[in-house]
A and B are shown apart, each in its own frame.
Chain A
Amino acid sequence: MSGEGDKVVLGGVSLHKWFGNVHAVNNVSFTLSQGEILSIVGPNGAGKTTLLNLVSGIIKPDDGRVYVYGERGRIDITGKPPYYITFLGVGRSFQIPNIFDGLTVRDNIRFAVLAYKKRMTRFNRGYGFYEDVEEIVDNVVNIFRLEEVIDKYGSELSHGERKKLDIALSFAQSPRVLLLDEPTSGLTYSEKLEMVDLIKSLRRERNVSFIVVEHDLDVVREVSDMLMVMYDGSVLAYDKPDVVIQMSEVISAYLGGEVL
């Protein structure tokens, strides 16, 4: 929808993943254009998180490929380690917020920036004394509205703040693509609105593309350019949201209301 000329940034081709007998991801393909937001919905155990894990390198697919498209053309990232994929501009957040509990919010973000700038083994300066890093940290704090909790430790944050910080960590690394696993789960109504605004503004102002796994259909309607429905590892529908939502009513009737 928004991507001018629809420049593709990320693609998955016929991905498969088995856990024992469970076919967690069954022949899933997708493409993501610059600035596009693709939402994935589906019941518990549908394979949504597993799909994000395949893309971000946390687990390796049994079959299929994942590609990142950059200035230097297509890069095959199938089975590459997470840090490699991170450096190619694909960041992610986690269903259960994944932050550093023993560090302050500021230090959490500093870490993300320093890791991205590959300065992690330096010890000539205090970690709070790199001006270019501090500039990015302030910027991220501002965008994610974390000013009030900036000096709190990760362990002292509320669930909503943890969710925001988790995404902020990935965003601090200037990603072109963000994979968000249920960014609004467990959030209050106003926090949800804030999260929706945040996703939309990152897309609008930074041209970030998203894959968003989401249960809340209001959020999905609000942000998505494309919508994928997964069930039992397979793709049931993959189209524009209004098309899918009409279809999905048919599908849920067919599956006894189980899908959404």
Chain B
Amino acid sequence: MKILRDNELYSLVVLLMFLAVIPQFLSTYNVRLLSVGLLYGLAAVGFNILYGYTGLISFGHAMFWSAGAYGLAIGLVKLNLDPVLSILLAFTLTFIIAVVTGYLSLKHTEIYFAMLTLAFAQLIYALIIKLRDITGGDEGIYGIPRFPPDIEQYYYLVYMIVALLVLLAWWIVRTPLGLGFQAVRDNPYRAEALGMDVRRVRLISFVLSAFYLSVAGILYAPLNRAITPDIAFWTFSAIIVIMTIIGGSKNMFGAFIGGLIFIYINTQAMNLTEFWQLTLGIILALLVYLAPYGVVGIFDRVVEYVRGRR
């Protein structure tokens, strides 16, 4: 895993440069798709703060993407607020949900933690369906304004925010806070014995991670112009987990790539066969079996192999 670790920033910068140029050569349809890819990448990076770095697996992260998306959409469409206030509303909603669900879920770890996050996320889903007046129920919210309206211009707005936040995540895991995350992941008992407040650090990681998902949701709602409750359903939480694992949870580059790749695997599989969920399942199973460190792990092994032969 050495190449991966040492060259992560370099890999990220090259990839981001590529992503800055590539829309010039793509159709509007594909630019739109790539915008979603960026947001999936951002979501995976945010999820990976909690999963890859703090060692906690949440099956409920769709609730934070939804908190962002619904918060913004409700602000803009239902309450006729200006964009700044709508974003503020989205963040407030995310923050409250994250602190409360995080505080309660983090009384446990491992599978119990995962189950609790899943339960809370389904609760949020149920609320979205029930509170029809505010959320539009199962029809969702339509006519969300996009600024700038042009897809390619909007891509660059998304791009700038995503690039900034991905680099920020790269940075955070290299600060004392990030070291604390990793220590908790490896050995919470020892971390505690060495004087760390483990639950507090876990909660910080959880809320930070939720913030990333929320930003992705906030950017997603105008991109799509409409949102429906499936972004709050548990299957979307599973997708967030899956794409992080596909890319590789060992670092932020892997997670980011995972999000970008996922959107293409998903669309291709959906186009090619009606059994796309099955196909996706098989791809995932193969990946986990053959490449436990994800796509980036494969890349790493190839590079090591080529270097070794010379």
Chain B residues numbered 139-196 whose CB sits less than 8 Å from any CB in chain A = 171-172, 174-180, 182-183, 185-187, 189-196
A81 CA / B199 CA spacing, docked (Å): 13
A83 to chain B: closest residue by CB: B195
Contact status of A98 and B196, CB under 8 A, knowing A120-B201, A127-B175, A127-B179 = no
- Residues facing A in B180-226 (CB within 8 A) are 180, 182-183, 185-187, 189-197, 200-201, 204
Q: How far is the CB of A156 from chain B (nearest CB, A)?
A: 11
Q: In the complex, what residue of chain B is closest to A98 when comparing beta carbons?
A: B190
Q: A122-B177, A123-B172 given as contacts; is B194 within 8 A of A115 (CB)?
A: yes
Within 8 A of B (CB), among A167-220: 169-170, 173
Which of A40-48, A104-112, A247-255 is the contact stretch? A104-112
A202 to B63, CA, bound (A): 52
A117-144 CB contacts (< 8 Å) to partner B: 118-128, 130
Question: Nearest chain-A residue to B204 (Cβ)?
Answer: A121
A154 (CB) vs chain B CBs: closest residue: B186
Interface string of A57-100 (1 = CB under 8 A from B): 01000000000000000000000011100110000101000111
Q: A86 to B178, Cβ gap below 8 A? A: no
**Which residues on the B side are within 8 Å of A222 (C-beta)?**
none
Task: Considering the complex, give the chain A residue whose CB is closest to the CB of B193.
Answer: A82
Q: Which residues of B have CB within 8 Å of A127?
A: 174-176, 178-179
Query: Is B186 touching A86 in the complex (CB atoms < 8 A)?
Result: no
A101 at the interface (CB under 8 A from B): yes
Residue of B nearest to A102 (CB): B186
Residue of A nearest to B177 (CB): A123
Interface size on B, residues (CB 8 A): 26
* A87 vs B193: C-alpha distance when bound (angstroms): 10
In Å, the complex CA distance between A225 and B190 comes to 29
CB-based nearest B residue for A128 = B174
Please report the C-alpha to C-alpha distance between residue A56 and residue B197 in the assembled complex, in whole angstroms. 16
The one of A83, A86, A125 in contact with B175, judged by C-beta atoms closer than 8 angstroms, is: A125
A150 interface hit (Cβ, 8 Å): no
Contacts A116-B195, A173-B195 given; does A107 touch B179 at CB 8 Å: yes
Bound Cα distance from A198 to B172, whole angstroms: 36
Pairwise interchain contact B176-A122, C-beta atoms closer than 8 A? yes
User: How far, in Å, is B205 (CB) from chain A's closest CB?
Assistant: 11
A71 to B185 alpha-carbon distance, docked (Å): 36
Nearest CB of A to B278, in Å: 34
Cα-based distance from A122 to B200 in the complex (angstroms): 13
C-alpha spacing A122/B204, complex, angstroms: 11
Interface contact B194-A101, CB-CB below 8 Å: no
Considering the complex, give the chain A residue whose CB is closest to the CB of B55. Answer: A102
| Contacting residues, chain A, for B172 (C-beta < 8 A) | 123
The smallest beta-carbon distance between A68 and chain B, in angstroms, is 15
Please tell me if the beta carbons of A86 and B195 are within 8 angstroms of each other in the complex. Answer: yes
Cβ-based interface call for A114 (8 A): yes
- Nearest CB in chain A to that of B168: its residue: A123
Q: Do the beta carbons of A98 and B180 come within 8 Å of each other?
A: no
A83 pairs with B190, CB closer than 8 A: no
Q: In this complex, what residue of A is CB-closest to B174?
A: A126
Which of B172, B174, B176, B190 neighbours the largest number of chain A CB atoms within 10 Å of its CB?
B176
CB proximity of B268 to chain A, nearest CB, Å: 34
Top 8 A-B residue pairs of the complex, sorted by shortest distance between their CB atoms:
A123-B175, A100-B186, A86-B195, A83-B195, A123-B177, A127-B179, A120-B180, A98-B190
CB-defined A-B contacts under 8 Å, sample of 25? A56-B193, A58-B193, A82-B193, A83-B192, A83-B193, A83-B196, A86-B194, A86-B195, A98-B187, A99-B187, A100-B187, A100-B190, A103-B183, A111-B183, A115-B191, A115-B195, A115-B196, A116-B194, A119-B176, A121-B177, A123-B176, A123-B177, A125-B175, A127-B179, A154-B186
